């Protein structure tokens, strides 16, 4: 399955693991990344991920996350159709950055967009999307019990 991971998924392992939710999401992210490394799933990468990652103040994290771009089977740049779709999604209540991630994932043909951002999920589920948006935990529960 072609997946798009919001940047917060890549950042989750660097968060405070003493919080149960963070630890659970980190474990799920690692499982998803392992599925990508094993070829069970495929990764889509975007110019939006590059842009957001470039804003991170810690060089070592930026570098580690950027390495995942090399594992992507699909890389999507910014195009007029993505910007137009992001504008529609922004008008539906998503933040511009979240809308750009979703528009990129849709343009890449992803089946799922994974994120740890509850607000993004709530807002996105109210919009008409061409993919499913869910947490890494939900995705792994779906694939563990399948």
Q: What is the pLDDT of residues 74-132, one digit of tens each?
A: 999 989 999 999 999 999 999 999 999 999 999 999 999 999 999 999 999 889 999 99
2-144 carries CATH number 3.40.718.10: no
pLDDT at 24 (0 to 100): 97
Q: How far is residue 58 from each of residues 18, 25, 87, measured CA to CA in Å?
A: 21, 21, 30
pLDDT at 10 (0 to 100): 96
Considering only CA atoms, give the Rg of the chain.
14
pLDDT at 145 over 70: no
Question: Over the stretch 38-54, which tens digit does the pLDDT of each residue have?
Answer: 999 999 999 999 999 99
pLDDT at 146 (0 to 100): 53
Cβ atoms of 106 and 92 within 8 Å: the answer is: no
- With CA atoms as reference, report the closest residue to 52 among 39, 61, 43: 61
Q: Sheet containing 112-114: which strands, arranged edge to edge?
A: 74-76, 42-46, 2-5, 112-114, 132-134
pLDDT at 40 (0 to 100): 95
Q: Is 61 exposed, middle or buried (0-12, 13-18, 19+ CB in 10 A)?
A: middle
């Amino acid at each position: 399955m072609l997946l798009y991971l919001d940047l917060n998924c890549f950042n989750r392992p660097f968060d405070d693991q003493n919080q149960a939710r963070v630890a659970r999401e980190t474990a799920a992210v690692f499982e998803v990344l392992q599925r990508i490394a094993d070829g069970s799933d495929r990764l889509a990468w975007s110019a939006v991920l590059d842009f957001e990652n470039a804003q991170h103040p810690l060089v070592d994290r930026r570098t580690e996350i950027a390495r995942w771009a090399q594992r992507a089977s699909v890389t999507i740049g910014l195009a007029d159709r993505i910007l137009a779709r992001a504008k529609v999604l922004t008008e539906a209540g998503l933040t511009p950055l979240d809308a750009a991630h979703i528009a990129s994932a849709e343009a890449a043909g992803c089946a799922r967009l994974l994120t740890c951002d509850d607000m993004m999920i709530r807002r996105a589920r109210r919009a008409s999307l061409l993919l499913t948006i869910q947490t890494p935990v939900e995705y792994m529960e779906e694939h563990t019990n399948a």
